[in-house]
Structure 1
Amino acid sequence: MSKKVITFGEIMLRLATPGYQRFCQATEYTATYGGGEANVAVSLSNYGIDAYFVTRLPENDIARNCIMELHKHGVKTDHVIYGGERLGIYFLETGAVARASKVVYDRAHSSISDIKPGMIDWYEVLRGTDCFHWTGITPALSQGAAETCLEAIQAANRMGIMVTCDLNYRKNLWKYGKKASEVMPDLVAGCDVILGNEEDAEKVFGIKPEGFDVTQTEGEVNAEEFESVCRQLMSRFPRVRKVIITLRGSVNANHNTWGGVLYDGSRLYKSARYDITHIVDRVGGGDSFMGGLIYGLLTYNGDDRKALDFAVAASCLKHTIYGDFNLVTVEEVEKLMSGDSSGRVSR
């Protein structure tokens, strides 16, 4: 029987400049859709998981097209609610070499930012679910979104459902009068699995590895430096069973090293390290990692090392795919896990 996962958050229209054009050069934009929790749902659906995405959308043609795009990838939208004014937008300028990528948000007053507790019957939505996933982006949108997310987490806790979280700190989103450090602790306290990157734990909870500067990686990140971060997070949040840190070493905008660690409270697992020399699109890289991790945790019967390796390989492949969604199969990920990174034509 297929595993069932619910993800909750915002999906947006993504408008990207063609190629490596800057905003000031662009006369047209490529339109796709994306958002942290929707990206995770697409990954899981590709892996054969029964994936549902929950959000609030306006009743207009753009939202309907967005739903059609999710359906194309097998994501179920039965529990989406409607109302509000608009679908959020984000603009993307893809960086190259020494020039970093840029994102400009246009998501104020989006339908989900006006969501309120009680609008979603979480006990109905979560029935029969194996995992509920959210990210730190959702509570950053508004007080109502934060309260609704907490409502879902508490319902999942009462129902015995695994709760996963990607801390996903976005400083440009916390604008409604609350800081992440004020809101996130109550939500993370209800989580079983936490994912973060080099900066998230420090920016949200003030937890950081000793002697590490994220701006000075020069393409190398030492996995052992992050065991202290994992220990500190578990100490602060006793419910948490696993802490995972993605390790991105940035040589430049087109060339990154990529890996991760998983800490289960007693042992630190380290993944293979991938050298990604020609990045096509790194947006959604963390979401593709989370999608791979959830799949691994649900299907590999407690083999945390294999779950971590699947997540890292899946997200490595995502860097070769345009758009937010990671459009790969289990077979492709496991082929890379086995060491086949030749890129030879499959015929």
Structure 2
Amino acid sequence: MSKIVTFGEIMLRLSPPEFLRFSQASHFDIEFGGGESNVAISLSKFGLSTEFITRLPNNDIGDCAKMELRKHGVGVDKIVYGGERLGIYFLETGAISRGSKVVYDRAHSSMATIQPGMIDWEKALDGVTWFHWTGITPAISQSAADVCLEALKVASAKGITISTDFNYRAKLWNYCDENLRKNIMTELSSYCNIILCNQEDAAVFFGIHPAKSATETNRENDILSVIEQLFKKFPNARKIATTLRTSISASHNTWSAILCDRENTYKTKTHQLNPIVDRVGGGDSFMAGLIYGLNTYTDDYQKAVDFAVAASCLKHSIKGDVNLVSVEEVTKLMEGDSSGKVAR
């Protein structure tokens, strides 16, 4: 049976209700979220054995974050404690022609101040079959990047499948310059077997660009060119995926995906997301769906990526960071039932 570990920062998400702007808000809705914890919860909802590893403050807010993970069936026994605070992000949800906006407040958080040696990775990864991290974790501090590297070295030595979502965040990576950022991500990514990326990630982290300039008419060829270059750069990569989002407005997107191995390309159909309830966590829900798909449909990679994109479509209908759907719901959409009829 698969045992999956994800590593990163879980945060408190504060957002004005509905579509109010920050300046209009008299109170905030409270959620918990974060790229790697979102993946862990989704996988637990899909019935896989999942553990989330992080560092939390030893206070009531840290306990609330841990309770949220436990509520969704995610293992929390390997979480370590220390530091002064939980990271926070503020989300203003956009609509129509006004995009959403994120403000981070995660400096000096427990995860940002984590240090090498605080987690016993040999013990934490004992019996694990899959390890997942994202480019957000090394973006928050040099020490978080160092701990991520510790984990990857142990996971690689144990023969664990390693996946990543590059997840470039322009508002992070404040502690280093462009060259150091590229060096950090190149070293970390060299251990990875399954990669999720887009053109911006590849350009910012590795200076990789498509053979031709991106336009709507050759978008697919552009991303395939980027993927080909990533395969050459990272010999350990077995599969590389990308999601393709077209924003007609903040409330209406189209959504599809491509999965490549070193011999074949698998493309999904294009889904209409309209109206979008909450797009935050859309990429995380795709990554969780892909991990589930590759663990479940082991000989059918087309079905694996179809499951991933269907899972992510459903996430766009759910408020909050996390994709709270079942395998049955995803399978229903994957098989073509998008009617949204009442089940009774």
The residue correspondences of 1:256-335 to structure 2 (distance < 5 A) are 256-335=253-332
What's the TM-score once normalised by structure 1's chain length?
Answer: 0.96
Report SS of the residue matched to 1:70: helix
Corresponding residue number in structure 1 for 2:36: 37
Corresponding residue number in structure 1 for 2:134: 135
Moved over 2 A (4+): 177-180, 208-213, 220-225
* Paired residues of 1:221 and 1:248 also in contact (CA < 8 A): no
Q: Could you report, residue by residue, the CA deviation over 1:242-271 in whole angstroms, capped at 9, with x for unpaired residues?
A: 110111111110010001101101111111
Name the aligned partner's letter for residue 311 of structure 2.
Answer: A
Name the aligned partner's letter for residue 328 of structure 2.
Answer: E
Corresponding residue number in structure 2 for 1:183: 184
| Deviation (angstroms), 1:144 | 0.7
Name the aligned partner's letter for residue 172 of structure 1.
Answer: K
What's the TM-score once normalised by structure 2's chain length?
Answer: 0.97
Report SS of the residue matched to 2:144: helix
Corresponding residue number in structure 2 for 1:107: 106
Corresponding residue number in structure 1 for 2:26: 27
Corresponding residue number in structure 2 for 1:207: 208
* Paired residues of 2:31 and 2:320 also in contact (CA < 8 A): yes
Corresponding residue number in structure 2 for 1:66: 65
The residue correspondences of 1:89-168 to structure 2 (distance < 5 A) are 89-168=88-167
Which of 286-295 and 296-305 deviates more? 296-305
Corresponding residue number in structure 2 for 1:6: 5
Corresponding residue number in structure 2 for 1:56: 55
| Deviation (angstroms), 1:176 | 1.2
* Paired residues of 1:52 and 1:76 also in contact (CA < 8 A): yes
| Deviation (angstroms), 1:196 | 1.1
- The 2-side partners of 1:206 and 1:296 are apart by 30
Unaligned 5+ runs, structure 1:
none
| Deviation (angstroms), 1:208 | 2.4
- The 1-side partners of 2:26 and 2:123 are apart by 46
Between the two proteins, the alignment pairs up a number of residues equal to 342
Name the aligned partner's letter for residue 228 of structure 2.
Answer: R
* Paired residues of 1:198 and 1:247 also in contact (CA < 8 A): no
| Deviation (angstroms), 1:223 | 2.9
| Deviation (angstroms), 1:282 | 0.3
| Deviation (angstroms), 1:178 | 4.1
Name the aligned partner's letter for residue 204 of structure 2.
Answer: K
* Paired residues of 2:247 and 2:253 also in contact (CA < 8 A): yes
Corresponding residue number in structure 1 for 2:196: 195
Say if 1:125 and 1:64 are closer, same or farther in 2 by CA, change over 3 A.
Answer: same
Report SS of the residue matched to 1:177: coil
Q: Could you report, residue by residue, the CA deviation over 1:301-328 in whole angstroms, capped at 9, with x for unpaired residues?
A: 2321111111000000000000000000
- The 2-side partners of 1:245 and 1:259 are apart by 9
* Paired residues of 1:296 and 1:306 also in contact (CA < 8 A): yes
- The 1-side partners of 2:260 and 2:63 are apart by 41
Over the aligned positions, Cα root-mean-square deviation in angstroms equals: 1.3
- % of aligned pairs identical? 56
| Deviation (angstroms), 1:207 | 1.5
Corresponding residue number in structure 1 for 2:223: 226
Report SS of the residue matched to 1:31: strand
* Paired residues of 1:52 and 1:77 also in contact (CA < 8 A): yes
Q: Could you report, residue by residue, the CA deviation over 1:5-24 in whole angstroms, capped at 9, with x for unpaired residues?
A: 00000010000111111111
- The 1-side partners of 2:229 and 2:183 are apart by 18
- The 2-side partners of 1:176 and 1:237 are apart by 25
